[in-house]
A and B are shown apart, each in its own frame.
Chain A
Amino acid sequence: MLEIKDLYVRYGGIEAVQGVSMSIPHGSIVTLIGANGAGKSSIIRSVAGLNKTISGQIQFRRHVGDEPVSLMGLKPESMVLNGIALSPEGRRILPHLTVRENLALGAYSRSNKKEIEDDMEWVYSLFPRLKERSWQKGGTLSGGEQQMLAVGRALMSRPDLLMLDEPSLGLAPLLVKEIFAIIRKINEDGKTVLLVEQNAYAALSIANFAYILEVGRVVLSGPGRELLENPKVKEAYLGG
């Protein structure tokens, strides 16, 4: 579905991403793991069209069998039309808008009211807590609820590729479990997921395939379960 080849991301003088290649097959959960500053967000933001100074190739096929289209140089606002949605790092909920309005904004590019309403119900069924709070301002939600809203909002564009940047950030262990269970469910509903995480254990547990990033380069990759058993990964990312 998504093929990243030899991606470089530069900010002024520094090269935050140095020749990364990744492949995200249709229907999979692929995770990208790495320490702070490794370049995870830079990669995912490049796919979403938010970084301008990048080089390499990013190719996307919405459905199996489609001709690949290049995402290089596309504007971020056109990504949802291609079937790509990003739940950004730090949630970025619009605090002065209600839960419902935040979700409606996620469906901004769509016009079929009935379908939008159906999807909203679907998001509410994934996150019943959002439904109870649908008239509450986004800024008054707890951190965990805001994270659910960020994921739900991304789903409202009806994407085929859902990209999540650190959905477990700042959540209590129980909530992390809940969020990851829901990510799995979203995947089972047919969406491909690219998951950026620092919580390596949780991410590797649900991922079909994983890439490990260190200072802008992929140092290790393989099926999630395999990497969980890898001694080097255990030592560096799973606390020994």
Chain B
Amino acid sequence: MGFEMFLQHCFNALTLGSLYALIAIGYTMVYGILRLINFAHGDILMVGAYFIFFGTFAFGWPWGVAAILSILAAGLLGVLIDRVAYRPLRDAPRISALISAIAMSFFIESVAVVVFTGQPRPVQQPAWLTNAWQFGDLRVTHLAAFVPGITIILVCLLLYIVYRTKPGLAMRAISKDIETTRLLGVKVDNIIALTFGLGSALAAAAGIMWALRYPQVHPYMGVMPGLKAFIAAVFGGIGSIEGAVLGGLVIGFVEIMAVAFMPELSSYRDAFAFLILVLVLLVKPTGLLGEKIEEKI
């Protein structure tokens, strides 16, 4: 493989990895606070992608406007999902919330099939994204720079919220000790809602970029990215935002490079992430940056 070709794969891996990272953050934040795997998270990505599809295609809004509205709407949807599916089960055994999450995922997918039909719809890529820079044999589309660029901006924004603001402080406190945090005057349900909102907004951002990259939307488009991003979160150490970003990038690189170097395995493309999951669980169950989480009694 030539060096240009290798660089090309690197750009692809960086794009895919960024998307996994954005999605993984939502899993890790919700898990960190509620010890809940939000199975409906991948479906938010799909909903976000549909929002932008209709915003630009049906209503003819500019991309930027449609993207911001779509991200806001998906954030609100995340808050709503928590309100109806998880909050009523806060004091119930954890398995109840987990089952509710699975049900929520199927519900959103089914509604999407009914409303949007099961037919994949092509997304019209704007020209400013498909244009490319040409360096000798290396061709870098603007999209390949756009996706990691937006990802970096969003991750920095999120880290700012988590580490430099009051609600962020509350979020970090809740993840260790809900009761004490409540005692100190934090309205815990609001902070949890905020967590769902932020995670869902990031997932929608990823969904939009996903729709631009593989230019189509369909009701199950969130399932596989969701699963792999979840694996990324586990790999990075679930509960850790930095871990989720790192895990997303690693999974993206492994997936692209494995296929690039072993094209004969390309039909097993989706299996690599799961292989990594098994290895992580066997070797370091807490993930790369995760700390041991004591079961709460």
Contact = CB atoms under 8 A, between A and B. Distances in A.
B180 A88 contact: yes
Contact of B180 (A81, A92, A109): A92
B176 A106 contact: no
B54 to A, nearest CB: 40
A80 B184 CA distance: 7
Interface in A68-90: 75-81, 86, 88
B172 A81 contact: no
Nearest to A101: B169
B176 A153 contact: no
Contact of A77 (B166, B172, B176, B187): B187
Contacts of A92: 177, 179-180
Given A92-B177, A94-B176, A94-B177, A81 B185 contact: yes
A95 B176 contact: yes
B173 A97 contact: yes
Interface string B141-176: 000000000000000000000000010011011001
B185 A94 contact: no
Given A77-B186, A80-B184, A81-B185, A105 B176 contact: no
Interface string A97-113: 10001001110110000
Contacts of A78: 185
Contacts of A79: 183, 185
A105 B172 CA distance: 10
A96 interface: yes
B94 interface: no
Contacts of B172: 94, 96-97, 101
Main SS class of interface, B: helix
B217 to A, nearest CB: 40
B185 A157 contact: yes
Contacts of A50: 179, 183
A88 to B, nearest CB: 6
B132 to A, nearest CB: 44
Contacts of A48: 183
Contacts of B181: 94, 105
B102 to A, nearest CB: 29
Nearest to B183: A76
A218 B170 CA distance: 38
A153 B169 CA distance: 14
B1 to A, nearest CB: 44
B188 interface: yes
A187 B151 CA distance: 52
A79 B186 CA distance: 10
B182 interface: yes
A108 B185 contact: yes
Contacts of B176: 94-96
A191 B57 CA distance: 64
A79 B170 CA distance: 17
18 contacts: A50-B179, A77-B188, A79-B183, A79-B185, A80-B184, A92-B179, A94-B177, A94-B180, A97-B172, A97-B173, A101-B172, A105-B181, A106-B184, A108-B169, A108-B186, A109-B184, A109-B185, A157-B184
Q: Please list the 4 inter-chain residue pairs (A to B) with the smallest Cβ-Cβ separation, ordered nearest first.
A: A109-B185, A80-B185, A92-B180, A108-B185
